[in-house]
Amino acid sequence: MASKAKAKVSNERSILPERFVDILEDAFHGLLGIILFIVALGALFFTIERLLTTNPFFPTGMIQGVNDILFIVIILEILRTVIARFTDGVYQLDKFLIIGVIAAVRHILTVGASLTLGSYKDNEAFQRSLLELGVNAGIVVALVLAIYMSKQAHTNRAN
């Protein structure tokens, strides 16, 4: 059945040759990788500058520093995913799930730190922050479960 589908696809003619499209796609992904690296470097310099100039350093500077560093980690994980696209030829689900976990944990840490170290909040803002923490915790659990299920599927496929 799959061979019939492949034969049908190979018999169809496209406007652009497949090899040309592959080269363009690889060049575009390479350009995106370079741009992501430049963005990560810019974010790193901005983070260092902000850490040195934020007053007071504790707690505001520390919260911003952790938030900024996790943002850089997210950018680098996206860059790693683009690079993996070159080696494997496909985007890997696991890498996007990991990026989602990092982003959700980043938000949990930021909200939690601002609740713990921040100034007084009214009841409505406090309740909203607690809801954000709960939703993000649920997202982390769901994404970790998805990573586990994906790893199990890869293991079962290998056997």
pLDDT at 44 over 60: yes
pLDDT at position 78 is 93
Residue pLDDT, tens place only, 110-139:
888 888 876 677 889 889 999 999 999 999
Please check whether residues 68 and 117 belong to one and the same domain.
Answer: no
d(CA 120, CA 130): 14
Residue 107 pLDDT level (bands cut at 50, 70, 90): very high
Is the bond preceding 17 in cis, omega lying within 30 degrees of 0?
A: no
Mean pLDDT for the chain?
A: 86
55 and 98: one domain?
no
50 and 83 both lie in a single domain: yes
Q: How far is Cα 46 from Cα 73, in angstroms, rounded to an integer?
A: 14
Total structural domains in the chain? 2
**What pLDDT was estimated at residue 91?**
73
Task: Provide CB contacts within 8 A for 137, sequence distance 6+.
Answer: 108
Q: What is the pLDDT of residue 72?
A: 96
Kindly state whether residue 9 falls inside one of the protein's structural domains. no
pTM: 0.79
DSSP 60: I
Give the model's pLDDT for residue 16: 78
**Range name among 11-20, 52-61, 89-98 with the lowest pLDDT average:** 11-20
Report whether pLDDT(100) > 90: yes
pLDDT for residue 92: 82
Asked if residues 109 and 67 have their Cβ atoms less than 8 Å apart, the reply is: yes
User: Is the domain of 101 the same as that of 147?
Assistant: yes
- Report if residue 110 sits inside a domain: yes
Residue 12 pLDDT > 90, yes or no? no
Task: Report yes or no on 154 lying in a domain.
Answer: yes
Report if residue 39 sits inside a domain: yes
Asked if 77 and 132 sit in the same domain, the reply is no
In the DSSP assignment, the letter for residue 61 is: I
User: 67 with 46: CB under 8 angstroms?
Assistant: no
Rounded Cα gap, residues 2 and 83, in angstroms: 29
- Over range 14-18, report the average pLDDT: 82
Q: For residue 102, what are the domain limits?
A: 92-159
Q: Are residues 49 and 105 in the same domain?
A: no
Is 2 domain-assigned?
no
Residue 87: how many other CB atoms lie within 10 Å: 7
A 10 A CB-CB count for 44 gives: 15
Domain end marker among 55, 73, 88: 88
129 in Cβ contact with 121 (< 8 Å): yes
State yes or no: pLDDT of 3 exceeds 50: no
